[in-house]
Amino acid sequence: MKNKSLIWLFAIILVLSAFLAACGGNDSDTATEEADTDEGTADEKATEGEAQQGGTMVYGIDAPPEGLFSSAFYGIATDGEVIDLFDEPLIDYNENLEPQPNVASWETEDNKVFNFTFEEGVKWHNGEELTVNDWVFALETIASPDYDGPRYTNVQTIEGAEAFRKGEADSISGIEVVSDYEITITFDQARVNNLTNLWVYPLPESVLGDVPVAEMSASEWVRSTPIGIGPFKVDNIVAGESLELSKNEDYWNGDVNLDKIIVRVIDNSSVVGALQNGDVDMISLQPVTGPEVEPLENVEIVTYPGLSYYFVGFKLGVFDNETQTISEELPKYQSKELRQAMMYAINRQEWVDAFFFGYANVINKPVPTSHWNAADDSELNTYEYDPEKAKSLLDEAGYVDTNDDGFREDPNGDEFVVKFSHYATGNPTFESRAQAITQYWNEVGIQTELEMVEVNLYYDMIEKDDPSIETFFGGWSTAADPDPSGLWKADQLWNYPRYNNPEADQLLDDALNIDIVGTDQQARADLYIEWQKIVNEEVPMLYIAELEEIKALNKRVGGTEYDVSGQNNPAEWFVTE
């Protein structure tokens, strides 16, 4: 018994000393290995050697999936990542985010009526052939009043979808099946973005056809035995922790290299160790993990442009949800000079380097740079960090320190205190990054108070225009169709700054109006660039940064390509031993 306890004591000393050694050791490793780190900054990675057949790859996800493995029903990004491995859309996107045919190709003359032609011989994992009926089934499922997922917005523009949803029609009148491989879809009106908005994932009617729509999301065909048309099929699911996918021998679009993909949930605290030990071959990283992974010799980091941006918004008005209008204008931040001065006062490059570790870039407009309609920085004011300019702008606008307390008063001579809100989660860096922004403003004499708000409450307060929210930190991600109307027009709930500029709204409307721009993408882009010039000048929000997506790949993985539209076809991935 005495020996046992001594062994125990010894074990603890061992644990503690190993930890201390690890703490001390890491720094020196980083210094010496920095030189070998090759960080693929290009959006494409050239792969070494020939593609190899066979092998198993481990694909990491950082949160437990909810288990809704169906494109029509899933809610969180983790489930979406898994679906991408075993299912694919009829139409996908190229590196310029333009739609391109995958299983289906299309023709249209007027952007209202589209004729789609499917590839023949594409099979579901259960051996049934994919036909246009599976797509019709998907569209009618989503348009059903019992449907409990969030995708109806991608179907409602089809002619007759609204009537079908209200139960006035037995089918959607805008869908006309020509043959098993041909279908015509008519939209309620001609729009330039009808195709990019359309729902393009079929659902397997052969297995889900008998399930009532209300019970579909709970059915085994969604949760435990999902099927798709992609290069891998789901063999086995251990709920909440892992999935086993194996090669689809009948894949329609070329050979599949890997035999198996194991999808495994890996907690953020284990990601670095798992990568180092080769327990995971491919995983998305958070920016904060990047610097820890860079020194690993067996891991390569690939970055590619993302489609999200961060901003600091001003509350310029109050939105009335009943009438869908901005009902009231808030006076505090109406001065354009004030907003511009607050933009000049922030050293965005320094901030991004400090909190995103080089995995983000400063942005000057509310459109991620990879979109075809993004304005070039040469056409915009880039608001280089210039505290002197900020001060002179404030002086001109009348924000001067009249009572010598070190902070500026507003033009009427009253105390002026900016309130800045940031959401709080468990992440300790959020408070320091928010604090940094308040310091930039304090330095040019704008007194700033910071409030950290619990994240769920935060967006609720912003959405309801709670008076305690004045300036707020936020982020948006954009879809393949880069039209910003939903986030910017005066009649939109998600126009959080309540920016109200009829001229700018008109430009957005024109860019979607087929009578004005026709099908000419350049004409559309010109209007969007015009719009970006306005919002860049008026800064209803301070554009801070756009993020990069980061993937960590074990060096044995090959055949991968990433661009702004995401990963290439998993069929092309391979591993070398």
Other Cβ atoms less than 10 A from the Cβ of 351: the count is: 19
Site for other proteins in 486-505 (CB under 8 A): 486-487, 493-494
Looking at the Cβ atoms of 189 and 268, the one nearer to other proteins is 268
Minimum distance from residue 502 beta carbon to other proteins (Å): 21
Minimum CB separation of residue 423 from other proteins in Å reads 11
Decide: is 273 part of the binding site for other proteins (CB under 8 A).
Answer: yes
Nearest Cα residue to 199 out of 243, 252, 138, 145: 138
CA distance 127 to 145: 30
479 vs 512, which CB is nearer to other proteins? 479
Least Å distance, CB 457 to other proteins, is: 3
Locate 443 and state its tokens: 């330095």
Return the residues of window 425-454 that contact other proteins according to CB under 8 A: 454
In sequence order, which residues have a C-beta less than 8 Å from that of residue 8 and are 6 or more positions away?
A: none
Assess 42 for contact with other proteins (CB under 8 A).
Answer: no
For residues 139 and 202, the answer to whether their CB atoms sit within 8 Å is no
7 lines the binding site for other proteins (CB under 8 A) = no
In angstroms, rounded to a whole number, what is the distance separating the alpha carbons of residues 59 and 15? 30
Q: In whole angstroms, give the CA distance from residue 550 to residue 283.
A: 9
| Binding segment toward other proteins, per CB under 8 A, in 273-281, 382-390, 428-436, 514-522 | 273-281
- On the 0-12 / 13-18 / 19+ scale of CB atoms within 10 A, 329 is exposed
For Cα atoms 250, 252, 257, give the angle at the middle one, nearest 5 degrees: 70
| Residue 467 binds to other proteins (criterion: CB under 8 A) | no
The nearer residue to other proteins, 70 or 447, going by C-beta atoms, is 70
Stretch that binds other proteins, among 3-11, 107-115, 247-255, 465-473 (CB under 8 A): 3-11
SS (H, E, C) 392-420: HHHHHHCCCCCCCCCCCECCCCCECEEEE
54, 75, 291, 467: which one contacts other proteins (CB under 8 A)? 75
Which lies closer to other proteins via its Cβ, residue 479 or residue 523? 479
Choice from 279, 386, 443, 530 touching other proteins (CB under 8 A): 279
Q: Which of residues 135-194 bind other proteins (CB under 8 A)?
A: 148, 150-153
Q: Is 15 in the site for other proteins (CB under 8 A)?
A: yes
Quick one: tokens of 547?
């993020």
CA-closest candidate to residue 283, choices 297, 266, 295: 266
Three-state DSSP class for residue 187: strand
- Interacting span for other proteins (CB under 8 A) from 4-12, 297-305, 428-436, 525-533: 4-12
Strand partners for 182 = 117
Amino acid at 573: W
> Which single residue is written with the structure tokens 């251990």?
238
- Contact string 189-218 vs other proteins (x = CB under 8 A): ----------------------------xx
Contact 235, 262 (CB under 8 A): no
284 binds other proteins (CB under 8 A): no
Instruction: Output the CA torsion sign for 62, 66, 68, 74.
Output: negative
Does 241 contact other proteins by CB under 8 A?
yes
Contact between 19 and other proteins by CB under 8 A: the answer reads yes
The count of residues interacting with other proteins (CB under 8 A) is 61
Q: Which tokens sit at 289?
A: 């993990």
* Shortest distance, position 470 Cβ to other proteins, whole Å: 19
The residues binding other proteins (CB under 8 A) are 1-2, 4-5, 8-9, 12, 14-15, 18-19, 22, 64, 66-68, 73, 75, 148, 150-153, 217-218, 223, 236, 238-244, 262, 264-267, 269-270, 273-274, 276-277, 279, 454-457, 459-460, 463, 476-479, 486-487, 493-494
